[in-house]
Amino acid sequence: MSSFPPPPAFKPFNLALIQLGQIGPDKAANLKHARDMIRKAANGEGEGAQGKPDLIVLPRWAKDRFVTLQECFNSPYGHTHFPVYAEPIEFKSGGKYNIEASQSESVKMLSEAAKSEGVWLLGGSIPERDPSNGNIYNTSTVYSPQGELVVTHRKVHLFDIDIPGKITFKESETLTGGSTTNFFDTEFARVGLGICYDVRFPELAMISARQGCQVLIYPGAFNTTTGPLHWELLQRARAIDNQVYFSMCSPARDLTAGYHAWGHSLVVDPMGSKLVEAEDGETILHTRINPKTFNDARAGIPVTTQRRFDVYLDVSKGS
């Protein structure tokens, strides 16, 4: 069993996903647009709002914020750009992230937004440069309603694929993969984190579920090749095999960009039913997360207590 403290009692909460469009090479304009959209989401603008959201999620930023870079992951050109946009995230002093000392304009904006709007905020992901080793990571940051940076998650599995004639992508040309699983506790749930390609590795979601997460949220940016095939299927699979709420928040599609995001931000319940889904344009989605579905799923189909760890002791060894 998990050695982590028990999760908070799971309570109903309002979740908002921001599927951002209008993302280009001007970082300041992107930050301003994201800030405006956070304000709108916090004020209940968008589809399906049932009051002020408790948790707002932004899409995975890195790919679409640096649209020109998307074209360039397959060429040396991109390698010069990604490091230019990367920001350091100041690490902890006295057990806490020090926002005041942060040199990241994205971190400062997101912290201010969470505090001003009084919401939990999962700030998509940004390229992060670690000053201690120069590595660049694709990193999510999460803020409390007090504006504290409570946890970061570095994308563990890098998106290196090659589907001839369709899409070739190699994040590992410039990025380093993270090496930790991460979650955060709110007053309403324990929320597990991953980023995009991480969803293809069921082990990560299963570990989060065994750490007590009732909700898993992965900022993402699938594309028009893999999106129609796998975006929904993977999320419904991760939701069902762990009996958790599962959500991925995408950027809107921009056909003038080098990388054509799939869009279709989605929230799935623990029975695998879709609660809310976007089209491919810019939008804000709201939904209500209800522990009853979680409890009913686990009571009715009790796989969480039927696992045979005596049979599959260590999947890495093929046992």
Ligand X SMILES: NC(=O)CC(=O)C(=O)O
**Residue 114 in tokens:** 């969470």
| Catalytic residue list contains 196 | yes
Question: Cβ closer to ligand X: 84 or 163?
Answer: 163
Residues 267 to 306 in contact with ligand X, rule: CB under 6 A: none
Task: Indicate which single residue of 34, 56, 58, 196 sits in contact with ligand X (rule: CB under 6 A).
Answer: 196
Question: What would the x/- binding string for ligand X be over residues 103 to 142, using CB under 6 A?
Answer: ----------------------------------------
The catalytic position among 63, 117, 171, 196 is: 196
Q: Would you count residue 69 as binding ligand X (CB under 6 A)?
A: no
* Stretch of residues binding ligand X (CB under 6 A), selected from 193-201, 263-271, 276-284, 288-296: 193-201
Question: Cβ closer to ligand X: 96 or 166?
Answer: 166
Q: How many residues touch ligand X (CB under 6 A)?
A: 8
Q: Is the separation of the CB atoms in 62 and 125 below 8 Å? A: yes
* Stretch of residues binding ligand X (CB under 6 A), selected from 10-18, 19-27, 95-103, 194-202: 194-202
| CA gap 136, 101 in Å, rounded | 20
Question: Cβ closer to ligand X: 13 or 262?
Answer: 262
Task: Indicate which single residue of 13, 120, 188, 197 sits in contact with ligand X (rule: CB under 6 A).
Answer: 197
| CA gap 138, 59 in Å, rounded | 12
| Catalytic residue list contains 72 | no
| CA gap 152, 256 in Å, rounded | 31
Q: Would you count residue 245 as binding ligand X (CB under 6 A)?
A: no
Report the DSSP beta bridge partners of residue 138: 127
Min dist. Cβ of residue 197 to ligand X (A): 3
- The helix or strand, by DSSP H or E, that contains position 185, with its residue range, turns out to be strand 182-185
| DSSP type of residue 125 | B
Angle ∠(193,96,30) on CA atoms, nearest 5: 55
Angle ∠(61,64,66) on CA atoms, nearest 5: 95
| H-assigned helices in the chain | 27-42, 61-65, 67-72, 76-85, 105-117, 202-210, 226, 232-242, 291-300, 303-306
Question: Cβ closer to ligand X: 137 or 159?
Answer: 159
Question: Cβ closer to ligand X: 21 or 227?
Answer: 227
| CA gap 93, 113 in Å, rounded | 22
The catalytic position among 27, 40, 47, 71 is: 71
| Catalytic residue list contains 108 | no
Q: Would you count residue 204 as binding ligand X (CB under 6 A)?
A: no
Residue with smallest beta-carbon separation from ligand X: 226
Q: Is the separation of the CB atoms in 19 and 284 below 8 Å? A: yes
Min dist. Cβ of residue 286 to ligand X (A): 25
Of how many residues is the chain composed?
319
Question: Cβ closer to ligand X: 113 or 156?
Answer: 156
The distance of Cα 54 from the centroid of its chain, to the nearest Å, equals: 16
Judged by the rule CB under 6 A, the positions of this chain that interact with ligand X are: 159, 196-197, 200, 221-223, 226
